[in-house]
Amino acid sequence: MKKLAEVLQDWEAVIGLEVHTELTTLKTKMFCNCRLSHDDEPNANVCPVCLGLPGALPVPNKKAIESIVMAGLATNCQIMRHSMFYRKHYFYPDMAKNFQTTQGPVAFCMHGNLDLEVHGVGAAERPDFADTTATGEKINREADGSYIVPIRILRIHMEEDAAKMVHVGGAEGRITAATESLIDYNRCGTPLIELVTEPDLRTPEEARLFMETLQQTFRTLGISDCSLEKGSMRCDGNISLRRRGSAKLGTKTEMKNINSFKSLHDALEYEICRQAEVLEEGGVIYQETRHWEPAHKRTVVMRVKETADDYRLFPDPDLAPFDLSDDFINACAQRVPELPRQKRNRYVADYALKLTDAAQIAADPTTAKLFESCVKLVGVQVIPTVANVMVNLLPGYDTFAPQQIASLAELLNSDAISFAQAREVLDAINGTDEDPVRVVDARGMRQTTDIVALQTVVDEVLARCTDQVQQYKEGNTKVIGFLVGQCMKASKGTGNPKLFNQLLVQSLS
């Protein structure tokens, strides 16, 4: 098969995503009062409604409607004042009532959009001549190839999840060749929102970034834990190819079993290359659902697509049409917090953080909250160091109190300890409520910042290392590392490497 970059020269990839998100932060199911938890013993959380017993009547979960409205507002959707629940019929034991309650042509949220920011190597996946959005506007590239592209969202609708099935005795847990199938109805009736994009994405990287942006947004809203691994956020990738310059959409295939960001990217990449090969050999693409096999890095056919008519969709007579009031929508709007991108921009503007540090902190609400607690404890000039500590030192440890992080950042900022020593301090205070300052003093780690004393060491080292001084003057600036090392040794580790570096450069210029 040809490589992605080569394929995308001749073919335009057209990608649309369908993203299902379980509202995991709610306490109860979508249409009954059963507890929302998949960890309990199988079939512990069931009732006549979610088991579909005759005569049971569904009652919608108001908090779930609040969540979907917040999701719609955060993705610039129109919130529909009037919508309905429908029945989507199918026969399979994961839904005992033989239909899924979902929404019809009008969903709670319609016609939104998200601006995707595509930076770095991922930006290069879109060939530079392919510089228009799905609606024909010009895309402006930065010098490094980064670009922003708007992606339209068709709708976000409310539905319910099905039960979980476990197939026993067959290969790989699939139903084929299984001897028994077990059903756990705890998941049945879990509130689920499905977001459907327009086919506006053009590269696997754009799809991956879109999914990442959604995850960060929904987590910040507090409506779901959005775990691809655990399946609380699931994504189907739809993909077709068309010749560059052609406006007609090709036949699409739909990718399932995507449970990581990397899988989403790799499955789309594989499928683009596969379709190109079929088409270039004069074959046709069948509209089918395909299963991503990460171990083999390929997609295989699961089933050919059923048509919409098979579901016999009609309004659910047990659920009255929904009228959302302005008051309700305004109350939801009040509860939409500052979103990751706004937060990132504020951190850069107010605290002079590096863009990448700010983005990483703002991406996750728990991290952002911790950062903001630390910010209150330090002077404004120390804040970038707090961010640096959080992004580069904290990963890998459990949690630290804001006071501990603030105190460590101040030690670093005043050059009392080096970055390497900061790790030693974190190891020492990990899992305790110890103050870093105490550890530094108790271990005698504090480095001298007395410039006169440090300069004496620098002079001594320069007088001794004449070869390296010569090399430096001939343009080999890398020897500075060696000279810093000599200074550290001469000062028995009590000097600050950053200050030594500065003094050496000054002395040598």
Span from 16-24, 39-47, 276-284, 330-338 in contact with Zn ion (CB under 5 A): 39-47
- Closest distance to ligand ADP from the beta carbon of 199 (Å): 4
Residue 445 CA, distance from chain mean position: 39
List contacts with ligand ADP (CB under 6 A). 14-18, 196-199, 238-240, 249-250, 252, 305
Closest CA to 134 of 196, 205, 200: 200
Binding flag, residue 50, Zn ion (CB under 5 A): yes
Element (H, E) at 369: helix 365-375
- Closest distance to Zn ion from the beta carbon of 43 (Å): 11
Indicate which single residue of 47, 84, 319, 339 sits in contact with Zn ion (rule: CB under 5 A): 47
Cβ closest to ligand ADP, residue 143 vs residue 304: 304
Span from 47-55, 355-363, 391-399, 449-457 in contact with Zn ion (CB under 5 A): 47-55
Residue 199 binds what, of Zn ion, ligand ADP, none (CB under 5 to 8 Å, by partner type)? Answer: ligand ADP
Distance CA 287, CA 299 (A): 14
Cβ closest to ligand ADP, residue 305 vs residue 464: 305
Partners of 22 in the beta sheet?
192
Partners of 16 in the beta sheet?
238
Binding letters toward Zn ion, positions 368-407, x by CB under 5 A: ----------------------------------------
- Closest distance to ligand ADP from the beta carbon of 241 (Å): 8
Distance CA 188, CA 203 (A): 35
Binding flag, residue 439, Zn ion (CB under 5 A): no
Indicate which single residue of 4, 14, 15, 34 sits in contact with Zn ion (rule: CB under 5 A): 34
Q: 32: phi > 0 → left, psi -120 to 50 → alpha, else beta; which?
A: beta
Cβ closest to ligand ADP, residue 15 vs residue 393: 15
- Closest distance to Zn ion from the beta carbon of 84 (Å): 22
Number of residues counted as binding Zn ion (CB under 5 A): 5
Residue 14 binds what, of Zn ion, ligand ADP, none (CB under 5 to 8 Å, by partner type)? Answer: ligand ADP
Strand-by-strand arrangement of the 147-160 sheet: 78-79, 109-118, 147-160, 191-197, 11-22, 233-243, 253-256, 288-293, 298-304
Q: Print burial letters for 316-325: b (CB count within 10 Å at least 16), e (below 16).
A: beebeebebe
Looking at beta carbons, which residue is closest to ligand ADP?
A: 16
Cβ closest to ligand ADP, residue 250 vs residue 384: 250
Distance CA 263, CA 269 (A): 10
- Closest distance to ligand ADP from the beta carbon of 262 (Å): 21
Handedness of CA 177, 180, 185, 186 (dihedral sign): negative
- Closest distance to ligand ADP from the beta carbon of 308 (Å): 6
Cβ closest to Zn ion, residue 34 vs residue 70: 34
Distance CA 103, CA 317 (A): 13
Binding flag, residue 428, Zn ion (CB under 5 A): no
Strand-by-strand arrangement of the 85-89 sheet: 99-103, 85-89, 314-315
Residue 436 binds what, of ligand ADP, Zn ion, none (CB under 5 to 8 Å, by partner type)? Answer: none
- Closest distance to Zn ion from the beta carbon of 33 (Å): 7
Give, as one character, the DSSP assignment of residue 115. Answer: E
Binding flag, residue 32, Zn ion (CB under 5 A): yes
- Closest distance to Zn ion from the beta carbon of 56 (Å): 9
Distance CA 276, CA 280 (A): 6
- Pairing between β-strand 147-160 and β-strand 109-118 as defined by DSSP bridges: antiparallel
- Closest distance to ligand ADP from the beta carbon of 80 (Å): 18
Cβ closest to ligand ADP, residue 239 vs residue 405: 239
Cβ closest to Zn ion, residue 163 vs residue 276: 163
Cβ closest to ligand ADP, residue 24 vs residue 240: 240
Q: Given the structure tokens 């205070």, which residue do they identify?
A: 429
Q: 43: phi > 0 → left, psi -120 to 50 → alpha, else beta; which?
A: left
Distance CA 330, CA 381 (A): 38
- Closest distance to ligand ADP from the beta carbon of 107 (Å): 12
Residue 238 binds what, of ligand ADP, Zn ion, none (CB under 5 to 8 Å, by partner type)? Answer: ligand ADP
Residue 18 binds what, of Zn ion, ligand ADP, none (CB under 5 to 8 Å, by partner type)? Answer: ligand ADP
Residue 240 binds what, of ligand ADP, Zn ion, none (CB under 5 to 8 Å, by partner type)? Answer: ligand ADP
Residue 91 CA, distance from chain mean position: 34
Report the Cα–Cα distance between both ends of the chain, in Å, rounded: 56
Cβ closest to ligand ADP, residue 250 vs residue 495: 250
Closest CA to 182 of 163, 162, 161, 166: 166
- Closest distance to Zn ion from the beta carbon of 46 (Å): 6
Cβ closest to Zn ion, residue 50 vs residue 389: 50
Three-state SS across 206-269?
HHHHHHHHHHHHHHHHCCCCCCCCCCCEEEEEEEEEEECCCCCCCCCEEEECCCCHHHHHHHHH
Residue 34 binds what, of ligand ADP, Zn ion, none (CB under 5 to 8 Å, by partner type)? Answer: Zn ion
The residue ranges that bind Zn ion (CB under 5 A) are: 32, 34, 47, 49-50
